[in-house]
């Protein structure tokens, strides 16, 4: 992926870095520092064809590396002040009097500082006058693996699991080690290594049957400053030891979890804690015992608290058997309706993990109104790097622009400026713990992500969680240069492909925020009326007269009432609603005129014809790079784009045909609709 460390051929740049790295001292031999040192050695050897000369004494070195505790006697007052203003994971890189310093507040800070320095080398930045002070915006920067013990990956589009194979944890953990390197290089500090849907055998991950090998995995990630978590089955006391109940208020159940947590920490002293999916999509939870989510989460939080462990409780809770025609059971309302009344009841080591939208990682949906709505409850926002509904790493869809829109959304929870970015950073409410989590997109495919260009989503996710102010373009450029080199033609063309791809995907799939219209179960390819649980009719409510879901206060599900003003007014009033979310909030006639002057039906036709043509343009751009691209990656991406073209054609033809027949309104340009 992006740690290829291609040789630097420009003599000036090479000489500059060799001078900076002439005599290097690194203080301490903690596992994290040793990993960072090893990463620097690999990078310097590969990029500069140079063996680092490691010095013993700080006075003899011209590049000094270490944490502020180890280097306390060698730092100037200005450096100490800079570090004092940074978070624990922050670092400085400075050149003072011909001597360079890379100092972290902690060992993790040193690790991130070295990765930053290596990134500068890859980008061929001038190292002669370094003056960097950097820290992560978000405390939690997490990856969730949806991997299963049989080697499958739920919503995995990159081959099998790198953690499990044929019902066992893999013996050869070299690929896990490489994954830790990748995640650390982009600032990820937490990982959960098993599916949130915990099936029967995976329930035993928290027992001595699996803990010795899970400890080996935890140690690998720990050496790269990444803390390991496990998803648990809420009914574990019943499944593992045959208790008659998993009631969170039952004394025997509490003692069972207390003993179990002590056992886990005996194996893994820096274990992060549990992720819990409960009372959703047939998973067990506290509802079985007439308890609520606070009861369930707090029981676990109490037994984890002595070890500094956390409970990450997912808010993806809804009745998947509900009747969509019922005004009171709009799935979009579910997370807010379940959790908002519980604000203030969760322990301080509980974090609620909330999907970025109210539904399920659609190509376009509004921001979840639950984000920021609970002023006394820690929150994580959840993204999906895996492209479940956005092309499954077959179709190109660079998701950073989407996530940046979400993070920039102003909730007005505490007036203007209450953006999602500031909320999850803990700057709007006084959250003790907060941040960002996402579903991973990697597997055991040779290129890790199925589609080579989908690597940009994993890279971009990490960079965005560290610094949400980075632009989509900046992130794309960093990834392209580190992955493909810095040829101007390659950079310009792949950047153009990435930055246009989300809108292209939206153009040929679900229009105007309506969502779904995708093959049930598979979630790839069009099925206009398809949605697993909409047994009572279409999810999009299209009929002869119009299309869209009425979520207004006056005549619909009332979902718009969950937002603060002015968002409530904007979404609730038809004339104010943004076009891109129109059908999410309103049922409108096909001839309703959008703000761009198109009718809804003509917009559907236009975008679906355009989306297909845009995919053809993507193919042309990529094909023009054949002369400067290695054959393996060129052919691979070319094949993926061909498959995307077939998918776009299918979407175009099915969507246009469906709505032509439903509405009876012809395309004004008389294009062929099958």
- Residue 360 known to be catalytic: yes
Cis-peptide into 393, omega within 30 deg: no
Q: Tell me, what DSSP letter sits at residue 667?
A: -
Instruction: State the CB neighbour count (10 A cutoff) for residue 549.
Output: 22
Instruction: State the CB neighbour count (10 A cutoff) for residue 576.
Output: 11
348's tokens: 């301080």
Q: What's the helix, strand, coil split of the chain in %, to 5?
A: 40, 10, 45
| Alpha helix positions (H), 268-394 | 293-304, 334-339
- Which position among 292, 388, 422, 477 bears the catalytic label? 388
Q: At CA 395, angle to CA 394 and CA 400, rounded to 5?
A: 115
Residue 40's region, left for phi above 0, alpha for psi from -120 to 50, else beta, is: alpha
Who's near 454: CB < 8 A, 6+ residues apart?
158, 387, 393, 396, 441
Q: Tell me, what DSSP letter sits at residue 203?
A: G
For 133-159, the DSSP string reads: EE--S-SEEEEE--B-TTS-BTT--SS
| Bridge partners for 230 per DSSP | 274
Answer positive or negative: Cα dihedral of 594, 599, 603, 606: negative
Strands 190-192 and 588-589: unpaired
CA atoms within a 13 Å half-sphere pointing along the CA-CB vector of 160: 12
What 3-state DSSP class applies to 132?
strand
Angstrom distance (rounded) from CA 372 to CA 375:
7
Of 548, 551, 554, 552, whose CA–CA distance to 587 is shortest? 548
42's tokens: 């690999």
- Which position among 134, 281, 564, 653 bears the catalytic label? 281
- Residue 388 known to be catalytic: yes
- Which position among 360, 410, 564, 580 bears the catalytic label? 360
Contact 52, 80 (CB under 8 A): no
123's tokens: 């980008």
- Residue 259 known to be catalytic: no
376's tokens: 């006394």
16's tokens: 């500059």
Contact 231, 147 (CB under 8 A): no
Angstrom distance (rounded) from CA 104 to CA 23:
19
Instruction: State the CB neighbour count (10 A cutoff) for residue 45.
Output: 14
Catalytic residues: 281, 360, 388
């Amino acid at each position: 992926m992006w740690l290829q460390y291609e040789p630097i051929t420009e003599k000036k740049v090479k000489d500059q870095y060799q001078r900076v790295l002439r005599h290097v001292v690194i203080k301490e031999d903690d596992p994290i520092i040793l990993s960072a040192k090893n990463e620097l050695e690999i990078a310097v050897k590969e990029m500069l064809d140079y063996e680092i000369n490691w010095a013993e004494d700080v006075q003899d070195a011209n590049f000094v590396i270490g944490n502020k505790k180890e280097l306390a006697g060698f730092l100037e007052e200005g450096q100490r002040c800079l570090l004092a203003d940074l978070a624990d994971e922050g670092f400085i890189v400075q050149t003072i009097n011909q001597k360079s310093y890379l100092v972290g507040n902690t060992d993790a800070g040193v690790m991130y500082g070295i990765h930053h320095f290596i990134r500068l080398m890859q980008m061929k930045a001038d190292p002669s006058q370094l003056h960097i002070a950097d820290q992560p915006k978000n405390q939690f920067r997490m990856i969730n693996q949806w991997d299963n013990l049989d080697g499958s990956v739920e919503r995995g589009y990159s081959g099998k699991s790198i953690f499990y194979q044929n019902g066992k944890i893999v013996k050869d953990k070299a690929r896990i080690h490489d994954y830790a390197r990748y995640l650390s290089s982009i600032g990820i500090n937490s990982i959960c290594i098993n599916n949130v849907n915990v099936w029967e055998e995976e329930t035993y991950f928290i027992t001595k049957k699996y803990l010795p090998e899970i400890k080996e995995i935890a140690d690998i990630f720990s050496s790269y400053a990444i803390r390991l978590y496990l998803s648990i089955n809420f009914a574990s006391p019943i499944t593992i030891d045959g208790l008659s109940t998993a009631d969170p208020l039952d004394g025997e159940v509490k003692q069972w979890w207390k003993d179990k947590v002590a056992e886990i920490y005996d194996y893994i002293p820096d274990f992060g804690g549990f992720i819990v999916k409960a009372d959703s999509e047939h998973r067990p939870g506290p509802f079985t015992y007439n308890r609520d989510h606070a009861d369930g989460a707090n029981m676990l939080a109490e037994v984890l608290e002595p070890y500094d462990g956390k409970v990450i409780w997912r808010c993806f809770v809804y009745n998947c058997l509900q009747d969509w025609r019922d005004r009171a059971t709009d799935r979009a309302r579910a997370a807010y309706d379940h959790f908002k009344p519980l604000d203030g009841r969760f322990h301080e080591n509980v974090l609620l993990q909330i999907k970025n939208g109210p539904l399920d990682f659609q190509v376009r949906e509004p921001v979840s109104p639950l984000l920021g709505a609970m002023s006394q409850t820690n929150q994580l926002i959840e993204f999906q790097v895996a492209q479940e509904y956005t092309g499954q790493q077959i179709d190109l869809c660079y998701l950073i622009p989407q996530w940046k829109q979400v993070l920039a959304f102003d909730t007005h929870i505490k007036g203007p400026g209450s953006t999602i970015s500031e909320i999850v950073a803990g700057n709007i409410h006084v959250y003790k713990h907060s941040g960002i989590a996402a579903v991973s997109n990697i597997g055991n495919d040779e290129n890790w992500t199925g589609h080579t260009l989908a690597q940009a989503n994993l890279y971009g996710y990490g960079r965005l969680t560290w610094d949400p102010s980075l632009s989509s373009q900046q992130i794309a450029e960093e990834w392209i240069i580190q992955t493909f080199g810095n040829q101007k033609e390659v950079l310009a063309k792949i950047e153009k492909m990435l930055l246009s791809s989300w809108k292209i995907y939206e153009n040929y799939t679900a229009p105007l925020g309506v969502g779904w219209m995708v093959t049930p179960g598979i979630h790839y390819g069009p099925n206009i009326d398809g949605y697993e649980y909409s047994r009572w009719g279409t999810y999009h409510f299209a009929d002869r007269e119009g299309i869209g879901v009425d979520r207004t206060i006056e005549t619909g599900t009332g979902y718009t009432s969950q937002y603060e003003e002015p968002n409530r007014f904007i979404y609730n009033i038809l004339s104010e609603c943004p076009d891109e979310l129109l059908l999410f909030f309103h049922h409108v006639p096909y001839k309703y005129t959008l703000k761009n002057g198109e009718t809804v039906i003509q917009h559907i036709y236009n975008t679906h014809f355009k989306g297909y043509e845009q995919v053809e343009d993507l193919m042309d751009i990529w094909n023009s790079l054949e002369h400067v691209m290695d054959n393996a990656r060129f052919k691979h991406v070319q094949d993926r784009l061909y498959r995307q073209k077939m998918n776009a054609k299918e979407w175009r033809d099915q969507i246009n045909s469906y709505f032509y027949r439903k509405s009876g309104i012809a395309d004004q340009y008389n294009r062929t609709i099958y």
